[in-house]
DNA sequence: CGCGATATTGATATAGATCAACTAATGTGG
DNA sequence: CCACATTAGTTGATCTATATCAATATCGCG
């Protein structure tokens, strides 16, 4: 089941067997993309959307001086650029971070699908609004938290999202982002990210090393990052690890 | 026509007469809300969405220390909290800034509407993704621009959006946000917003006084704020004032 | 007409950027 | 499989944009 992680754990949003079957039927066979590959650039007209089966991708915008600002990190089970279906044209770039497995949903098939299954249409809509909710929290992070808070918040979000799709084991998860990437997500330089991670490590909250994140004290990490997971719309049991 | 400004000027997104008629028919009669009134708070379960006819509203999140971070400013023609329809529960607060006229769309009626007019459903979906696109640009603003750039970018966005619904006259528009509000949007203190506005005024780009914004040199303001209006998905003619 | 909210200006403090040097991984072609 | 190149991470010194604190001015409203 390619889409088994789609909306997994979202409160009252599980797909029916029939809906899932129908969704699977519009996807192309899976494809592997190499790491650090730009997939779509701002302005591209898109006629299909990318479902992420495994690996990490990101969406970002480029500044005038060539600096990147990540606007989201996509993890397995995410419909990366479903936004492109109603928008038709993308307002940001998309790239892989690690090697990824993806499958494509052609837009004309999505239209048929939604007309046949309006409820599934609402679920797809919902999934794009999860992105919007994460964007809002991202704005909060940049606007109101200091460096330690921003990184803590980001790591909490990732932890909870990956936990929902079974990618957390022993408080740890694989994390292909470099410190540079994390800085581009949090509006910080890689140098400062490095110092910030040291602070969090020395405080015993989290350890990031060798592309693996180990959360040692989720409670303290969450309160440092003012992380309240309601915006991820998970089932209650999942909401506070 | 209450909804005459809904999606106005968006490329190939105008509603058909029949669709507009149907949309109007689900709205309650207009209501007036006083300024600075909190309308919804984070966590509220919502069963209707608010269409903004006139006035300014905002969406925001509260930090632990009581600081607000605005995540969007809503202007006439916006479906303020249509996100609440697929999400059911809101992850942020909503308040008026100025006195506002609004009409409500009960969610059960929206469901009927969308099943009858799937294309209108896609337009409603599209309108929520415009918010997401603005959120992304907002992230870019906070993560990559300095104070002058952030304020410039925000003023450009507002100018273009208000222009599309006929609220710009002689390069000027009414602007009910205080410097404090603008700071809460841009992640700056009101003191620094004040100094930033002075810089922009002295550079001859824009003048903000008496709750009126006058854009004197849009081109320079846009380049200062790295403002590229494609993310607002307007018709081409509207894209560069 | 007076009082709270908003705007303005100045002085000082600080978080994070920038610049620079070095180390440790990771990868690649011979 | 090694030698070298490239990328990622680490640490220190200095600089700067913006916060913070403080005082005054002005506006808008009851």
What tens digit of pLDDT does each residue of A133-168 get? Answer: 999 999 999 999 999 999 999 999 999 999 999 999
Residue A23 domain-assigned (yes or no): yes
CA distance A33 to A51: 12
pLDDT-based confidence at residue A65 (cuts at 50, 70, 90): confident
According to DSSP, residue A16 is labeled P
Confidence of residue A73 (pLDDT cuts 50, 70, 90): very high
What integer best gives the mean pLDDT of chain A?
Answer: 95
Q: What's the CA gap between B62 and B54, in Å, rounded? A: 25
A10 in reach of chain B (CB within 8 A)? no
Judgement on whether residues B175 and B233 belong to the same structural domain of the protein = yes
Q: Which helix (H) or strand (E) holds B157?
A: helix B147-164
| A113-117, A128-132, B103-107: segment of lowest average pLDDT | A113-117
The pLDDT value given to residue B11: 76
Query: Is the CB of A87 less than 8 angstroms away from the CB of B129?
Result: yes
Q: Are A79 and A123 in contact (CB under 8 A)?
A: no
Residue B155 · residue B220 · CB < 8 Å: no
Same structural domain, A42 and A107 = yes
Residue with tokens 């990618």: A167
- Confidence band for B241, pLDDT divided at 50, 70 and 90: low
Distance of alpha carbon B157 from alpha carbon B222, whole angstroms: 9
Whether A129 and B83 lie within 8 Å, measured CB to CB: yes
- A60: CATH: 2.60.120.10
Q: Quick one: A113 and A161 in the same domain?
A: no
Q: Residue B108 domain-assigned?
A: yes
* pLDDT(A125) > 50: yes
State which of A117, A134, A164 marks the end of a domain: A117
The residue among B96, B213, B211, B98 whose CA lies nearest residue B161 is B213
- Mean pLDDT of the residues in chain B: 95
Q: A207 pairs with which residues across the strands?
A: A214
Query: For chain B, what is the domain count?
Result: 2
Residue B124 in any domain: the answer is: no
B132 CA: distance to closest CA in chain A (Å): 5
User: Nearest 5 degrees, angle CA B154-CA B156-CA B162?
Assistant: 100
Strand A31-33 relative to strand A100-106, pairing: antiparallel
Which whole number is the average pLDDT over B194-220? 96
Residues B25 and B106 in one domain: yes
SS3 B156: helix
- Interface contact A140-B91, CB threshold 8 A: no
A217 SS3 class: coil
Residues A76 and A165 occupy one common structural domain:
no
Does residue A164 lie in a domain region?
yes
Distance B39 CA to D30 C1' (A): 25
- Domain match, B96 and B151 both: no
> Which of helix, strand or coil describes residue A8?
coil
- Give domain status of residue B4, yes or no: no
| Residue A218 belongs to some domain of the structure | yes
Say if residues A56 and A96 touch (Cβ distance below 8 Å): yes
CATH number of the CATH domain containing A171: 1.10.10.10
Q: What tokens appear for A216 in the block?
A: 């040692």
A60 and A95 in contact (C-beta within 8 Å)? yes
Decide: A164 and A234 in contact? Cβ < 8 Å: yes
**Quick one: pLDDT at residue B123?**
96
Q: If pLDDT is split at 50, 70 and 90, which confidence band does A120 have?
A: very high
Task: Tell me, yes or no, whether A109 and A166 share the same domain.
Answer: no
Q: Are residues A149 and A108 part of one domain?
A: no
Residue ranges of alpha helices (H) inside chain A are 17-26, 84-87, 107-116, 118-144, 147-164, 179-186, 190-202, 218-224, 236-239
Task: For residues A68 and A160, state if they share a domain.
Answer: no
Q: Are residues B100 and B173 in the same domain?
A: no
Q: From B219, B124, B228, B227, select the one nearest A43 (Cα to Cα).
A: B228
- Any domain includes B130: no
B239 pLDDT higher than 50: no
Of the candidates B117, B134, B165, which is a domain's last residue?
A: B117
| Environment class of B64 (CB within 10 Å of its CB; exposed 0-12, middle 13-18, buried 19+) | exposed
Among A71, A102, A117, which residue terminates a domain? Answer: A117
Same domain, residue pair A25 and A102: yes
How far is the alpha carbon of A126 from chain B, nearest alpha carbon, in Å? 5
Q: Name which of B143, B180, B192, B235 to mutate to probe chain A: the one with the most chain A Cβ atoms within 10 A of its Cβ.
A: B143
Expressed as residue numbers, the domain containing B210 is: 145-239
Asked if the model's pLDDT at residue B146 lies above 80, the reply is yes
pLDDT of A79 over the 60 cut: yes
What pLDDT does A235 receive? 85
Flag whether A1 is in a domain: no
**Are A130 and A69 within 8 A, CB to CB?**
no
Close Cβ partners of B235 (under 8 Å, ≥ 6 residues apart): B9, B10, B11
Contact B107, B79 (CB under 8 A): no
Mean pLDDT value across residues A35-40: 94
Please report the sign of the dihedral spanned by the C-alpha atoms of residue A82, residue A88, residue A91, residue A96: positive
Together in a domain, A99 and A179: no
């Amino acid at each position: 089941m390619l889409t088994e992680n789609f909306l997994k754990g979202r409160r009252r949003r599980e797909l029916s067997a029939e809906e899932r079957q129908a969704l699977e039927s519009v996807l192309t066979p899976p494809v592997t993309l190499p790491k650090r590959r730009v997939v779509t650039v701002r302005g591209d007209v898109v006629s299909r959307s990318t479902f992420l089966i495994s690996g990490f991708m990101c969406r970002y915008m480029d500044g005038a001086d060539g600096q990147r600002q990540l606007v989201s990190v996509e993890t397995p089970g995410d419909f990366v650029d479903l936004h492109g279906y109603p928008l038709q044209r993308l307002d940001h770039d998309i790239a892989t971070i690690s090697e990824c497995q993806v499958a494509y949903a052609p837009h004309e098939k999505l239209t048929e699908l939604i007309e046949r299954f309006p409820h599934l249409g609402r679920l797809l809509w919902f999934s794009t609004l999860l992105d919007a909710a994460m964007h809002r929290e991202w704005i909060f992070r940049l606007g109101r938290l200091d460096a330690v808070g921003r990184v803590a918040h980001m790591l909490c979000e990732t932890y909870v999202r990956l936990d929902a799709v079974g990618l957390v084991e022993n408080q740890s998860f694989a994390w292909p982002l470099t410190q540079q990437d994390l800085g581009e997500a949090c509006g910080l330089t890689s140098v400062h990210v490095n110092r910030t991670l040291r602070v969090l490590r020395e405080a015993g909250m989290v350890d990031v090393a060798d592309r693996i994140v180990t959360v040692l004290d989720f409670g303290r990490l969450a309160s440092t990052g003012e992380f309240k997971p309601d915006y991820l719309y998970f089932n209650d049991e999942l909401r506070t690890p």
